Amino acid sequence: GSYSDRRYIAFIMQPAADTNLVDFLQQCTPAEYPTLSRLFGCLTSAIHYLHGKYVRHRDIFSQNVLVHNGEVKLTDFGNSYNWSTSNKRTTRDRIPINEEYAAPEVARGILKNEYSDLWSLGVVFLEMATTLLGKTKAEFDEFLRD
């Protein structure tokens, strides 16, 4: 639904998600491990779909993955890149990055393509696997620092 007054227009919608992946992983119990395991395939399918449509997300990290009723939604396409009209899938552009998830070529600002999304997705997968192994985010962060 929606409504408006003299100053505002408001939309009334259902929440898009219950939480993001970061919070889901922190609260995940062993009873939810089968759901978490299924999310690997869901995220892989989402990225495969995007790349099949000639779109790079370029900002994949756990906070941009929403979780709702055991399903995931990839969000925040503000930095995405569509190469369908230019056929220029490899670029050298500079965008804001999340260093923990950035592929080496993205962090260095050199040529990059859709494989950079796969690197970021791999870091998300490491976080998910860490939870499945019964480890915490702090242990994961310590592992990355070493």
| Catalytic (active-site) positions | 59
Q: Sort strands 55-56 and 81-82 into parallel, antiparallel or unpaired.
A: antiparallel
Dmax over CA atoms of the chain, in Å, equals 56
**How many C-beta atoms surround the C-beta of residue 94 within 10 A?**
8
The annotation status of 23 as a binding-site residue, yes or no, is: no
Binding positions: 76
Binding positions for ATP: 76
